[in-house]
Amino acid sequence: MPSKLEQLREFSVVVADTGDLTAISQFRPRDCTTNPSLILKAAQQPESAGLVREVIDQARRAGDGVDVLLDRLAVRFGVELTKLVPGDVSTEVDALLSFDRDAMIAKARALLALYEAQGVGRDRVLIKLAATWEGIRAAEVLEREGIRCNLTLVFSLEQAIACAQAGAFLISPFVGRITDWHKKAEGRESYEVDVDPGVQSVRRIYEHLKAHGYSTVVMGASFRSAAQVEALAGCDRLTVSPALLGELDRNQAPLVRRLTPPAQTSDQAEGRLTESAFRWALLENQMAGEKLTEGIRLFHQDYLKLKADMEVKLALKEEELPT
């Protein structure tokens, strides 16, 4: 019997949620996603020291400030990841820009230009944006330019619908963070997987988008357990941490497909979600509103930690940098 990881590949595209180059080589995902938290972790690993040093040396020669260095670092990790996976690599725009449509558009173009300068075309890159109203509008512009977007921090059906109506290539509805919120709110230790609020949310989003004929790819994200991953087998893509990929790889029990595209319910397009309706939905859905703002805040905090670490390294003498 093949492992559950191998069986999962038959139903869904497996994506590694990491910047760890060693883990990517081990688990052979098709795609890879990163965010500031993952880049921060990867940049501190000994096997990444040479890559970090290279980016710092380049910044010094060019006279770049730390903000440009951070863009170059994220793209440099992304370039390495494109050598290890055959599919897409997601690179995230700084969460600080999540409420500024024009700034997100400019940053996305700048990141893509850095990729193209290193020989990686836009067909390999997804620009990752927070699924705020402004992030969705930025994606709408970028998609028309042929820059594919991954809308992240999706916690509600309304966010998913707005992303799909904007023509976003891919959305990342979260599982574990929704589960965490409900466990705390309800004073529960756990849920049976089929009534897990995070699992149910992604299933609902998947079924709605498929039933209404949207082309947006649904990629379940933010898993807390292998059981949550298994419960979404059949989702278009699933982005999974190395720890859970390893757990699935060691398990040779049968895996059953849980999601299949439903029949399209109507040839008529769904009414376009307005800004006021979008914002009101996030206000009414306490979990989604809180987790969206929390996610943006936490990603930016890790961005600032990475920035502080790079500022220290920039100040070191060349011979003092890790090799």
The H-or-E segment that residue 200 falls in is helix 197-211
Rounded Cα gap, residues 147 and 196, in angstroms: 34
Q: Determine the residue type at 96.
A: L
Q: So what's the pLDDT on residue 49?
A: 84
Assess contact for 172 and 154: CB atoms under 8 A.
yes
Q: So what's the pLDDT on residue 196?
A: 98
CA 86 and chain centroid, separation: 17
The residues assigned a catalytic role are 128
Assess contact for 239 and 89: CB atoms under 8 A.
no
pTM of the model: 0.94
Q: So what's the pLDDT on residue 163?
A: 98
CATH class of the structural domain 4-320: alpha beta
List the pLDDT tens digit at each of the 323 positions of the chain. 899 999 999 999 999 998 888 888 898 899 998 888 888 888 888 888 888 888 988 888 888 889 999 999 999 999 999 999 999 999 999 999 999 999 999 999 999 999 999 999 999 999 999 999 999 999 999 999 999 999 999 999 999 999 999 999 999 999 999 999 999 999 999 999 999 999 999 999 999 999 999 999 999 999 999 999 999 999 999 999 999 999 999 999 999 999 999 987 765 578 999 999 999 999 999 999 999 999 999 999 999 999 998 898 888 766 666 66
Nearest CA-CA partner of 90 in 47, 51, 49, 122: 122
Rounded Cα gap, residues 116 and 163, in angstroms: 26
